[in-house]
A = this chain, B = another copy of it.
Amino acid sequence: MKLRDLGEDRLLDQLLPHLPLGKTLKAFEAGAGDDCAVVKTPTGRNFLVLKTDCVVEEVHFMSEADALDIGWKAMMRPLSDFAATSAVPQFALVTLVAPKETEVAWIKKLYRGLRRAAERFKVSIVGGETSSTRGPIVISVSVVGFVEKNRCVLRRGGKAGDDLFVTGRLGGATKRRHLQFAPRIAESRWLTKNFSIHAMMDLSDGLGVDLPRLVRASKVGFKIELENLPLSRGAKIDNAISEGEDYELLFAVSPGDRSRLQRGWKKKFPNLSLTRIGSLNRKSRIENRKLPRGYVHFQQPG
């Protein structure tokens, strides 16, 4: 069987149960499969949070894209997973794999993009590697940081009855915005400071792929009010569900917090919309069908 036929999610599912946890098994809070890996350390008061993500030429960016934008995106992708976990990123490692023919000027511009993104969130790039290749350029960024034990949010805490919210607007990101987005770290930190957020993730692959992940992890069902989806200018419901690259937050919170959340958000983030798009419920296959099945496209590159 080829990688193509299996898809990334199922591959990771098959690989992960076998990953060694050794003596740190009990120290392990959430591993691969959630947005970040979250681990206990013997001495730390906080959880250690780890995430790696990569961008590949011709898969995540076109060769002619601006190197500054590519660097920005390469750093922002793992940082968006920190937002999903409500974690604070601190240190980054950058691996660049590029052909020997690559212009040094291009690489410097790429690093300017990486640095600009890192500085925006007070992240220090503390190390890196470069290697040559005969193939497309690969930029891999690993980020390490922390989250307070009582503010760590995973995908798996959603409860039946919870409201489902998304930040910002969905759809149309793949055209240009995907290279210039800013992770919702400030928003995520504000949420966990002021509310009990039950489950959260960032929308990188599209609501149609990502929501089922949150729901599966939380062992609940969901009901989405499609007519309430906050659409980007020019985007249709199809785009909002299936395109991905929005990097907005999707989270579950008790309906008891609804009005306080909506009022507080408007005051704190007047320029960013927050929309209740539906709710979680007891597992029900019929309800889940409301999100058209065709949109779930596990075989997409990336």
Contact = CB atoms under 8 A, between A and B. Distances in A.
Interface stretch (A90-98, A190-198, A217-225, A265-273): A90-98
A43 B142 CA distance: 21
Interface stretch (A16-24, A228-236, A281-289): A16-24
Contacts of A103: 1-3
B90 A24 contact: yes
Given A126-B28, A126-B39, A18 B100 contact: no
Interface stretch (A115-123, A173-181, A241-249, A253-261): A115-123
Q: Which of A36, A54, A59, A107 has the most CB of B within 10 A?
A: A54
Q: Which 8 A-B pairs have the closest CB atoms?
A: A135-B135, A4-B100, A37-B126, A142-B142, A37-B127, A52-B93, A32-B127, A140-B140
A59 to B, nearest CB: 6
A91 B143 CA distance: 13
A151 to B, nearest CB: 15
Interface stretch (A5-13, A164-172, A208-216): A5-13
A48 interface: yes
Contacts of A97: 54, 56, 138, 140
A36 B91 CA distance: 13
A90 to B, nearest CB: 7
Interface in A29-71: 31-32, 36-37, 39, 41, 43-46, 48, 50-54, 56, 58-60
A302 interface: yes
A36 B117 CA distance: 23
A95 B51 contact: no
A294 interface: no
Contacts of A118: 20, 22
A29 to B, nearest CB: 9
B134 A58 contact: yes
A108 B14 contact: yes
A104 to B, nearest CB: 5
B53 A129 contact: yes
